[in-house]
Amino acid sequence: MNYYFITGTSRGIGEALAKELLLNKNNYVLGFARNQNIEESNYSHKHLDLSNTESIINFDFPNVPNAESICLVNNAGTLGEIKYFGNLNDENLANTMVTNFVAPLVLINKFMRKYKLLEIDKTIINIGSGASKTPYDGWGAYCASKAGLEMISNVILKEQEKVNTGYKVYNIAPGVVDTKMQENIRETNHDDFSNVAKFLHMKNENVLYQPIDVAKKLIQLIQHPEEIEDVSYRIVLQ
Residues identified as active-site: 142
Dist. CA 119–CA 100, nearest whole Å: 29
Residue 3 dihedral angles phi and psi, to the nearest 5°: -105, 130
Which positions ≥6 away from 13 have C-beta within 8 Å? 75, 127, 174, 177, 179, 211, 214, 215, 218
DSSP label of 54: H
Core vs surface per residue 195-206: b (16+ CB within 10 A) or e: ebeebeebeeee
Distances (CA, A) of 223 to 13, 30, 93, 210: 17, 18, 36, 21
Dist. CA 137–CA 192, nearest whole Å: 7
Distances (CA, A) of 218 to 9, 56, 228: 15, 25, 11
Is the Cα dihedral 122, 62, 151, 195 positive or negative?
positive
52, β-bridge pairs? none
Dist. CA 140–CA 88, nearest whole Å: 10
